[in-house]
């Protein structure tokens, strides 16, 4: 056996073991890594506000705390208002359920000549095996729901802690990263960091402004129709429609449509029509003006980035896909050399003058050449 073979076998086994250990550690820490990624983009989003407050003499830690405290208060207030609205609607539906059930039973009796009664239907439902199994499964699933809620709260706390540290210690973090790089690489890292801050912050602020406009527009419509909880529904539509790209508007409009349907079915059609019309206004008028200087990417690229982010990281990828692609596009744009485009009609989607005539001349020339090359026909004799 050659002398190098044992060393090669040990080295190969070591590499395989390191790969397996790294793969296992990565799969175990994938949740933590995603939380850190979300926290990093959240810190980039609040970086301009924190830096502006720190430039005016406020300590950076205090400025970061005030920004996150304001975000926390706004989020808790919105969740409380939305929860109270949904609870009120559920109570109304439960109270009006006997009326709906009576109307359905009357329609069945008139249409199919049956003699059903609400009391009999309720007794059959209460004593059905399906309902008992459902109650048992629900009781056994309370612990799972509690565990999921606690896990979600712990994840939110982890994200806020990491984002607070990233934002409050941003300069120290940049110095730590640059300390292990040569001066030329330090300039590139700082430039990429600045671009990421500008694009992420610009994306967040432009989306926030469009959410404000969308919320005001839908609030006016809901107030005209006399829908209850119009402010909460308007805030819901504004936030969901802007921070869930492409399909967020239609998902956000589902809840106001449902509430409007309980008042009058025609009101739901009015809400649907307004949502569709406003989406076109936002896509072609509002969004290009607000995002031209912040996140200037093509709508097809934005849609593709959202789809790719969703496939890779789920809902988290859908949220951070557009600022990540905008940052990458701006960073590459600083290094890709561009040239002046020639003044050719084909660049603007027009055909050159005389191009059709040129093609016709070429075709006639080819036909003449083929006619000359063609051999003469043989003459028949007696």
Closest Cα to residue 301, out of 322, 279, 275? Answer: 322
Q: What is the Cα–Cα distance from 255 to 85, expressed in whole angstroms?
A: 11
Q: What is the Cα–Cα distance from 325 to 40, expressed in whole angstroms?
A: 15
Which tens digit of pLDDT belongs to each residue from 275-300?
Answer: 888 888 877 777 766 665 566 666 66
Residue for token pair 């205090």: 62
Residue for token pair 């995002």: 291
Ordered DSSP codes for 314-379 = THHHHHHHHHHHHHHHHHHHTTS---PPP--GGGGT-PPTTHHHHHHHHHHHHHHHHHHHSPPPPP
Backbone φ, ψ for residue 320 (5° rounding): -100, 0
Backbone φ, ψ for residue 152 (5° rounding): -65, -40
High-pLDDT (> 70) share of the chain, %:
71
Which tens digit of pLDDT belongs to each residue from 90-147?
Answer: 676 667 667 777 777 788 878 887 777 767 766 776 666 666 676 666 555 555 666 7
Q: What is the Cα–Cα distance from 16 to 332, expressed in whole angstroms?
A: 36
The answer to whether the CB of 85 falls within 8 A of the CB of 235 is no
Closest Cα to residue 160, out of 239, 96, 65? Answer: 65
Q: What is the Cα–Cα distance from 182 to 202, expressed in whole angstroms?
A: 30
**Distances from the Cα of 97 to the Cαs of 94, 111, 166, 260, in angstroms?**
5, 21, 51, 17
Give the model's pLDDT for residue 250: 75
Number of Cβ within a 10 Å radius of residue 123? 11
Which tens digit of pLDDT belongs to each residue from 162-180?
Answer: 888 888 888 888 888 888 8
**Distances from the Cα of 175 to the Cαs of 43, 45, 128, 291, in angstroms?**
16, 20, 68, 31
Q: Which two tokens stand for residue 301?
A: 């690229």
Q: Would you say residue 183 has pLDDT above 50?
A: yes
Give the model's pLDDT for residue 136: 63
Per-domain residue ranges of the chain:
188-336
pTM of the full predicted structure? 0.64
Q: What is the Cα–Cα distance from 49 to 51, expressed in whole angstroms?
A: 5
Give the model's pLDDT for residue 381: 44
Give the model's pLDDT for residue 382: 36
Higher-pLDDT residue of 23, 135: 23
User: How many residues in the chain?
Assistant: 382
The answer to whether the CB of 324 falls within 8 A of the CB of 304 is no
Closest Cα to residue 64, out of 160, 149, 143? Answer: 160
Cβ-based neighbours of 88, under 8 Å, separated by 6 or more: 228, 229
The answer to whether the CB of 295 falls within 8 A of the CB of 199 is yes
Higher-pLDDT residue of 72, 124: 72
Number of Cβ within a 10 Å radius of residue 177? 14
């Amino acid at each position: 056996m050659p002398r190098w073979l044992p060393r090669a076998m040990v080295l190969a086994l070591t590499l395989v073991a390191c790969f397996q250990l790294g793969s296992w550690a990565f799969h175990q820490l994938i949740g933590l890594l995603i939380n850190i990624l979300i926290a990093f983009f959240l810190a980039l989003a609040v970086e301009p506000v924190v830096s502006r407050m720190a430039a005016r003499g406020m300590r950076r830690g205090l400025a970061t705390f005030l920004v996150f405290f304001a975000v926390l208060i706004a989020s808790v207030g919105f969740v409380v208002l939305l929860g109270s609205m949904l609870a009120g609607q559920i109570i109304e539906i439960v109270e009006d359920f006997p009326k709906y059930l009576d109307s359905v039973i009357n329609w069945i009796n008139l249409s199919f000549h049956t003699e059903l009664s609400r009391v009999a239907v309720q007794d059959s439902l209460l004593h059905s095996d399906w309902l008992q199994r459902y109650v048992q499964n629900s009781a056994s699933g309370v612990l799972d729901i509690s565990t999921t809620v606690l896990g979600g709260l712990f994840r939110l706390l982890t994200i806020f802690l990491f984002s607070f540290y990233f934002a409050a210690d941003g300069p120290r973090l940049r110095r730590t990263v640059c300390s292990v790089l040569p001066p030329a690489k330090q300039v590139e890292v700082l430039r990429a960091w600045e671009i990421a801050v500008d694009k992420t912050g610009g994306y967040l602020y432009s989306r926030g402004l469009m959410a404000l406009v969308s919320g005001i527009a839908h609030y006016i419509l809901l107030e005209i129709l006399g829908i209850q909880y119009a402010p909460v529904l308007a805030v819901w539509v504004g936030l969901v429609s802007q921070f869930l790209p492409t399909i967020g508007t239609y998902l956000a409009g589902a809840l106001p449509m449902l509430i409007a349907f309980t008042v009058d079915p025609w009101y739901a059609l009015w809400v649907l029509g307004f949502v569709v019309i406003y989406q076109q206004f936002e896509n072609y008028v509002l969004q290009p003006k607000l995002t031209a200087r912040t996140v200037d990417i093509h709508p097809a690229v934005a849609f593709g980035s959202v789809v790719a982010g969703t496939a890779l990281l789920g809902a988290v990828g859908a949220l951070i896909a557009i600022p990540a692609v905008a940052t990458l596009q701006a960073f590459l744009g600083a290094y890709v050399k561009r040239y002046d485009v020639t003044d050719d009609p084909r660049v603007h989607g027009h055909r050159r003058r005389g191009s059709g005539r040129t093609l016709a001349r070429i075709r006639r020339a080819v036909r003449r050449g083929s006619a000359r090359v063609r051999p003469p026909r043989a003459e028949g004799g007696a």
